[in-house]
Amino acid sequence: MILYGLKNCDTCRKALKALPNAELVDVSMSSVPEGILDRAMNQFGEKILNTKSTTWRGLDAAERETDPKVLLIAHPKLMKRPLIVDGDVLYLGWDKNTQAALLG
């Protein structure tokens, strides 16, 4: 299981604590592989963008209109966190549904 997020993100830390076998990939150090990013974009659409983030608020109107994938490649911290890859299944965020699916 791979968890894409930020090592200093509270939500990512909560998910890692609950999923001790998950490996954290810090997106500020290495980006999400393009194949996984494409799958996430197909599954979650624009929900993958964290429009409440400081990074988003720092973008101008023209940048916000950019294709979400291009934005995520240029600004990986814009991704809603965590993006969890469990085999062939993707989860976005650490909400009750994700927790129920992964923790039983």
Instruction: Just list the catalytic residues.
Output: 9
Q: Would you call 102 helix, strand, or coil by DSSP?
A: helix
Asked if 103 and 24 touch (Cβ cutoff 8 Å), the reply is no
Phi, psi angles (nearest 5°) of residue 31: -75, 165
Instruction: For residue 81, count other CB atoms closer than 10 A to its CB.
Output: 23
CA neighbours closer than 13 Å in the CB half-sphere of residue 30? 5
**Euclidean distance between CA atoms 45 and 48, whole angstroms:** 6
